[in-house]
Structures are given as C-alpha cells and as structure tokens.
Structure 1
Amino acid sequence: MKIHDNTEAELLLNVDVIRAEFPILARRVHGDRPLVYLDNAATSQTPQAVIDVLDDYFHRYNANIHRGLHCLADEATAAFEGSRETVRGFLNAADKREIVFTRGTTEAINLVAQSYGRAFLQPGDEILVSMMEHHSNIVPWQLLAAERGLSIKTIPVDTRGVLDLAAYAALFTPRTKLVAVTHVSNALGTVNPVDELVRVAHAHGARILVDGAQAAPHQAIDVQALGVDFYAFSSHKVYGPTGVGALYGRLELLEAMPPWQGGGEMIKLVRLDGETTFAEPPHKFEAGTPAIAEVIAFGAALRWFTRFPVDLVDEWERRLLLAATEGVKRIEGARVIGEAPGKAGVLSFVIDGVHAQDIGLLIDQFGVAIRTGHHCAQPLLHSFGLDATCRASFAIYNTLGEVETFLDALERVVKMVRG
C-alpha cells in the first residue's frame, strides 16, 4: 500500500540519518524481515550516542557518587549531577533541587503518594484521578486511600477519549486535596489540557500531579508555565535506558515532605541515641546507591533528543499517525479507539472477529512489533466495553514506509484469521 512521497518534516528532520543512529533498527527478524518497531509508547529505542555514554562510564569512571575523594568518584558525581541539570532544563524547572531521580514514572508517583500523601492527606480527603490513567497513577492512590481512609473520585472520559472538563470541575469539594492525571494517554494518545486542569485544581486549593511519561517524547514541557505541583516521566520513553526517571516537585513542597525511604545519602546525621536528621531535597528522596550509569545516560538521551525542533517532531509523528489511522480504517470491521483532536502518536484499534492477541502474534511474523492487551489501562478500556486493543505507537525514527509495511501486514493477518 503506497501512501506517501517525502514530506517537508521528514526531509527537515532527515529521518534516514536519524535512523542510522539506532543500531537496533538495522535488525532483521524472523528470517530476513526488516524490523518495523511500532511499540514506542512502551519503550523507545536508544541511539548509539547514548549507548556510548553507558559504555564510557563502565570503561573509564565506574564509581559511586558523592562523598568519594578520588578522581573516578569526582567524575561520576559530576556526570550524574550534570544529568540533573539536563532534566531541569528539559522541564524548565526553576531549580535543580526540584529534580529527584527515581526508577521511573511509577516510583515517582509512589514517592508522592507515600511521602506527600501520608504527611498531608487526612481521613475523608478526596483524590481525583481520570478514567484514562495508567495503573501506575491509580494503584498507588488506592493503596494510600485504603491506608488513610481517603476517597477516590473519577474524572470521566467521552466516547472520543476526551476528558469531560465540566464534570471535572463539578467533582471538587472542600475535601478535594489532590488531582492525579496523565498529560498524554498511553492507550489513546489523548493530550490533556494540563494548564486548565491545574487552574481548576489550584482554584479549589488542591495540588496536582501529572504523569508525563507519554508527553515527554512528543512535546515541549514547561512545568513553570503549566503550574504543576508534581510532574513525573521516564527515561526509556525518551530514547534513554530503562530503570530510571525523574520527579519534578515544587521546592517548597519537597522541603515540607518527609523522606520515603531511608538509607545512605539521604541523611545529614544519624544517631542511635538521638534524632536522625535528613538531607535537603533532592537528596532526601534518593536513598542508597542510584542507577548511576543509567542516570548519566538519561541526561545524554535528553540532550540527543532536544537537538531536534519539537514542532518538527510533532508534525512528523502526526503525519505517521494520520497515515496509519486512515489505513486501519479502510480494513473491514476495524474501529479506532480514541479519536481526540490533536492526539499524540498512539493508534489503538480493534478489528471485528479478530482477537488483538492473535493480531499481535501474527503481525510479528512479518517483522512488525506492536503492543496488544489492556496497556495497563483496564478501567479505560472497560469504559469502551473492551478488554484489549492493538496499539501502534510512533517515534521520531519511524517512516511512512514502515507504516505501509504495518498496514500491508495487518491486512494479510486479518485475511489469514478470517480465512
């Protein structure tokens, strides 16, 4: 299925040159089929420049950070803290002390739940979460609610996958203390109006945490302009390694919050016969030896990604999404799930009479990697009457030729299953 000539965004980004920076994209699978990787919402691939940073760390300056007096420790500490400054700049945070390194978005949300939530939420208080949240922005609040006697209220989503803003505003009461909402839905691609959500929450005296895992690779993020209280995202969605991410928290909030985990690094003074005192943010929340190499590579990935104009990245990924969406809709019995205006590069769909898992397994035989299942968003899918969808998700290195391959393989799979 031929669907394109070169577009201006493709030419300006020089997508072929970008692809050459990712060794894995040259792989051939299942015999001699070129890999078509469309599972970027789960994990993006990693460019050679970031791989080289990991390699360099272990070859030249593998050492624990802070407190060490030898040259390797100094170099590792400088590189680690350099990544903190890179994340600060990526989010436009006011102060690098507002950046806490975590194992990813999930741990960042749990940190807020267990530190801020335990300290400042009282029995009877309310938390608002949206219907479209990833489980990592639902379950930590459920655990906290069960422990603290809190109430969780749900912001509804319409049939297009758009948050109902009128219903959102109507949910607030004097007991509403926290809103937890995604910036971009991992299952639908819906881009939520975070600035408006923040405005309403703050007007009612509530704090707001935003899950930015899916927004970070697709758009510019300015936490000061958005006005968020907390913002979390993960390295492995933004061309970096797995197992590391960051939490932004407004400094006055982090200063008021107690530690979540205890151990080395997060203390000023430990006494057995008196009160232990804690370090200032962000180190108060970074107990133990962190993922040093991964944090350094995380910074390298952000520096790699921010070389590209975000408006061109957005334009290119929307072109990929449009081509894929139009092609899927031409398949008999296909239905796209989530058609919010201005959505990010996520395409979820179902096809009548063909189970999503069968599609995922069979299309892989043609070299096409997509994701199938509930995408850790079971409440959202159940609201659409579904248990699973197929999801193709796009990144800066994907091409319209790959979209053609995906659509051709999908048509062949559907014909195979339907006989």
Structure 2
Amino acid sequence: MNLQISQRAAQTQGLVMTGHMQQAIALLQLSNTDLQRYIEQEAEENPFIEVARSERALPSLPHVGGKGADADDATGRIADHPLSLYAHVAAQFDLMFNSTQDRLIADRFLEALDENGWLGEPLEEIAFACALDMTEAEHMLHAVQAVEPAGLFARTLAECLALQAEDQGLMTPLFRAVLNNLPRLAAADLTGLARVCACTMDDLRATLKQLRSLNPKPGADFHLANLVEREPDLIVSRGASGWKVELNRSTLPAVLVDEESAAVATQDKRAREYVGERLGVARWLRRAVEHRNQTALAVGAEIVRRQAAFLEHGPAKIAPMTLADVAQAIGVHESTVSRVTTGILMVTPQGTMGLKRFFSTALAGDADGEGGASAAAVRYRIQKMVAGEDPTNPLSDDAIAQMISADGPVLARRTVAKYRDMLHIPSSFQRKRQGKLNGM
C-alpha cells in the first residue's frame, strides 16, 4: 500500500456569524422589559450610553456588522444578561438547530414551556400542530431536553428529576427505582419504599439526600417578564385609515450616545483607545435596538393587516397565517419572524396576546371552493358550540362536523375529535353523564 499526503485549495461560500450578528439576533427576541434591563446594564458599564424614552421615528433597518470603531465587539454581553426563561432557551436553540424546519418545531416546544420549566401541553398536541408522528415528536423532545439547566421540558416530576440526575451523574439503579416509586415517597412510606427498591434504610437515606438536592421547578428561578401580566410591547388601535400598530413607548427604551463627551475625552491620547472602544459599542447598541424595534413593528403591522377580521369579530375569525407568509411579506427570513414573535405581546381589542398565537394553519375549503378558515378559528367554534349545547343532549363529534362543514371548511369527525382533545373537552358521552350528575 502506497500512502501519500497532499494539499488542495478550494473556495467555498458560507455565512459566518460575527459576534455582533449573534447579539443582534438575540436582541430580536427580547421583550421591552428585558431590553430595558439589558440597556440599563450596558449604561452602567459604558459612560457614553444614556437610556431615554424614544419619541422619534425609527430609521430604516441598519446593516449589522461592519468594520472600525463602530463595530467594536461586545461578545458575551447578552449571555451575561439575566434573560427570561424563554429568551434563555431560545438563545440555546440558535446554536442547537441549524435547520430552519427543526428550529420552527423547537419554537413550538418553547411556546408550550410553562413558567416552572415543564412542558405545559401534551406531546400529542404538539406533534399534531407540527405534523409529526409520535416517534418524531419523542425524538425532538429528547433534543430540546438537552438545554441547560437540566430538567427543562419535562412532562412529569419523575422525568424532571431523572434529567437532572443523569446530567449530574447520580442515576443509579437505586435512584431509578426511587423515581419509579415517588407515590410511596410522597406518602412517607420509607419502609415500603426500601422494600420495593430492595435496599437498606441507610442506602435509601443517602439516595433521598441526593434527590432533595435536585430542583423540581428548574424554570422558576428565571425572570418572568414574559408572563401576560407584564406590559405589552405593541399596541393596536383603530385609526382614520384603519387598524394601526405602534410600539408601546411607555416601556420602550431608547439608546442615546453622548457624542460630545466622547469628543472631549478623545483629546486625551492616553484615553483615546478606551474611548474609541466604548463609543463603538454605544453606537452599535443604538443601531441594534433600532433594528429590533423596526423589525418588531414590521412583523406586528403585517400580522394586524392579515388579522383585521379577528380584530373586528374575535377568535372565530382568525385567519390562517404562517411564519413564511409574514416573512415573505416584510422581506426577512422565517427564523427572524420566529424569534421576534417568541416574547412579544400585543394588546388588541380582543385582549393581550403573544404574537405566536396569531399563527395557525389553513383548513380545506368547503364544497364551493371557498377556503380561508384557520384551525384556530375552527377550534374556537367547537369550544363555543359545546359551551352552548344542552347538557342533557350534548353534540356528538359527527354533529359538530356537519354543522361546521355546512357553512365553512369541510371537517371530518376525527378532526373534531382531535381538536376536542386539544381543548380538553370530554366526549359527548362523558359530557352527557356529567350533565345528569349535575342535574341530580
């Protein structure tokens, strides 16, 4: 065998994510509250940054990146900022998923994450929404469960503790046996627990000590700025020419750069390098925040344009809309729309909603070919029908399918059953039995 070593040169094209690009992307998914906290932290470290309320029109989108003092690197600042749970996980997803499709599916899991870090929706519901079979959904669940801190996206207490135990190297056959018998532990039946785990009481106590060191709510320590109770980021109102959307100026911070102080400071040759670096960071932050605000406003405006019927008549009229629809309309990538809609709230005449809630797939049209109904609107109609039915004679899935198909999209009985399960509505038999019990 004759082995030879050779070298060849080749040219390839690829996108290199600079530090500024990564941070500009991270800023897109911050709420106004998170953004203000981040800017205030930057202002404490940078003498040329001032925080003020923005009352001026936003400029066109700036180019992210560049050379010179304006592009001085600020790598790591977003990572050091105490983000909310959702922004923290979304930043990890940016590095974990290279495929746009996988990232969109991961965002659907993120949408189901509750404030304690648990998966707040059944896996079957998420699989249905993402058009996945259960094997694919389980595979994606294991992928998103790899984020830090360990224990996020768990469905049960045992699964949450198991993820942390495996991460810390604590998982042993005895530890697994204890997790499989948590009801006995909750009942304080240590003797019975030791018996079913086939261990001594001393071994059991040592394992329980390790168990108590784990966190059953790994998401509870994060900032909860994404909850509905916080101020909205966008405001929808009716203007003279129709619906309009505005940034919530009451919570929206703006970055001001103290150019005059910088000019004075640069006269000192010893401080010139430091001033140039700090001034470059301040200018970059100003452009990045304006870019974030302009993008959020563009996404919100396009959503409002497409969902005018919802604003007028409520959830029954929500139109089908995908991330790709909005991205194509405003000229950005789907992943950009996904990031912007992750943590942004918009107040509307129908209530305050996260932007992700406006997206829903389209259903097939009726026999005349008229489409336009979304899955979300159909689910709302099912919910209203069940709420107004006779408890002693509830509507069957077939009856609901026929009623909706008569004046809307053609709906199969099995589709009604799936949507009913997603809404946690019992079957007609169970509702009838409950109606009789209530009557008694």
TM-score range, shorter chain: under 0.3
Q: Which protein is richer in helix relative to its size?
A: 2
Larger radius of gyration: 2
Q: Which protein is richer in strand relative to its size?
A: 1
Using structure 2 for the length normalisation, give the TM-score.
Answer: 0.25
Q: Per chain length, whose mean CA-contact separation is higher, i.e. which structure has more relative contact order (CA < 8 Å, sep 6+)?
A: 1
